[in-house]
């Protein structure tokens, strides 16, 4: 498969690291110059970010940059007319990726996207998984698993995303990998078990200092908001109820559930 690596022009050290990793794995890759959202004109930002009632943009410049960079990867995939790999430049990659990312014969026929990264946070997948051999399984992703740092996408799915995702009030990973987005149910998304890559910021140890550079809109908004004690208590109750419902849906003791909750592991070696 063709591997696309999204990388900012100024991040030369990151690109050199990725070049060493991918060449060492024997994978065919090409660099996609990432769009620097901070360098975009206000008019360009308004083209892609929805606005609040006061006229301020919902997405941060960094989130707009990610959206445009991902769109370029999708466009490249459409032009390749075959499944392609999309990577961000701050990932650690498993040694086994040299096999799985080199060819497509293990991909399910109905797959639109195969997500092979992990954030090590709990996610929900189908209890019934597909064993594709050599210790790798695939399961349908049924809950949010954010991030766009490592996935395989088909040309059909890439074209669908290009047509469906324009100006938005949500970061692009929420539009693809969050059940609140209609696209999540429209796409057939599989998760690899274990993951084949992980962003440096999520790796418990051996980090090399590649922290995320993108400021998220929700984090900016959270800083602005001042909630009363009653509002804070209400949000906490809502959070606990949501966590309990999630846990029960994927609990092995739930006789009616076809789902399984787990933290997708990453095994570098």
Give tens-digit pLDDT for 10-57.
999 999 999 999 999 999 999 999 999 999 999 999 999 999 999 999
- How confident is residue 250, by pLDDT bands cut at 50, 70 and 90? low
**Please, what sign has the CA dihedral across residues 243, 248, 252, 256?**
negative
Q: pLDDT tens across 143-152, in order?
A: 999 999 999 9
The average pLDDT across 239-248 equals 51
Tell me, which fold does domain 2-225+257-263 have in CATH? Spore Coat Polysaccharide Biosynthesis Protein SpsA; Chain A (3.90.550)
Q: Which pLDDT score, from 0 to 100, does residue 15 have?
A: 98
Distance CA 250, CA 126 (A): 9
> Are 77 and 56 contacting, i.e. CB atoms less than 8 angstroms apart?
no
Q: What is the pTM of this model?
A: 0.86
Residue 63 has pLDDT above 90, yes or no: yes
Q: What is the mean pLDDT of the chain?
A: 90
Q: pLDDT tens across 73-109, in order?
A: 999 999 999 999 999 999 999 999 999 999 999 999 9
Kindly list the distances between the CA atom of residue 73 and the CA atoms of 1, 7, 247, in Å, as whole numbers in the listed order: 14, 11, 35
Q: Which pLDDT score, from 0 to 100, does residue 269 have?
A: 75
Q: Which pLDDT score, from 0 to 100, does residue 14 have?
A: 97
Distance CA 184, CA 82 (A): 21
Residue 180 has pLDDT above 80, yes or no: yes
- How confident is residue 210, by pLDDT bands cut at 50, 70 and 90? confident
- HEC string for the chain: CEEEEEECCCCHHHHHHHHHHHHHHCCCEEEEECCCHHHCCHHHHHHHECECCCCCECCCHHHHHHHHHHHHHHHHHHHHCCCEEEEECCEEECCCHHHHCCCCCCCCCCCCEEECEECCCEEEEECCCEEEECCEEEEEECCCCCCCCEEEECHHHHHHHHHHCCCECCCHHHHHHCCCCHHHHHCCEEEEECECEEEHHHCCCCCCCCCCCCCCHHHHHHHHCCCCHHHHHHHHHHHHHHHHHHHHHCCCCCCCCCEEEEECCECCC
Report the percentage of the chain scoring pLDDT > 90: 78
Task: Delimit the domains of the chain by residue range.
Answer: 2-225+257-263
């Amino acid at each position: 498969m063709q591997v696309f690596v999204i990388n900012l022009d100024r991040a030369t050290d990151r690109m050199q690291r990725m070049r060493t990793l991918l060449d060492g794995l024997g994978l065919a890759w090409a660099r996609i110059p990432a769009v620097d959202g901070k360098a975009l004109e206000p008019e360009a930002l308004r083209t892609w970010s929805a606005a609040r009632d006061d006229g301020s943009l919902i997405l941060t410049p960094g989130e707009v940059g990610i959206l445009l960079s991902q769109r370029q990867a999708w466009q490249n995939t459409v032009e390749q007319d075959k499944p392609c790999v999309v990577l961000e430049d701050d990932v650690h990659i498993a040694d086994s990726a040299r096999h799985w990312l080199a060819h497509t014969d293990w991909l399910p026929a109905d797959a639109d996207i195969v997500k092979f990264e992990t954030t090590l946070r709990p996610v929900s997948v189908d209890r019934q998984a597909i064993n594709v051999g050599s210790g790798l399984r695939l399961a349908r992703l049924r809950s949010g698993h954010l991030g766009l740092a490592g996935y395989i996408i088909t040309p059909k799915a890439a074209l669908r995303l290009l047509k469906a995702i324009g100006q938005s009030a949500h970061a692009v990973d929420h539009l693809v990998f969050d059940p609140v987005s209609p696209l999540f149910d429209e796409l057939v998304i599989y998760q690899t078990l274990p993951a084949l890559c992980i962003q440096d910021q999520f790796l418990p140890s051996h980090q090399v200092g590649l922290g995320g550079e993108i400021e998220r809109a929700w984090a900016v908004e959270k800083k602005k908001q001042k909630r009363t004690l009653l509002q804070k208590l209400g949000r906490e109750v809502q959070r606990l109820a949501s966590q309990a419902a999630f846990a029960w849906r994927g609990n092995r003791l739930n006789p009616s559930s076809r789902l399984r909750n787990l933290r997708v592991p990453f095994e570098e070696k």
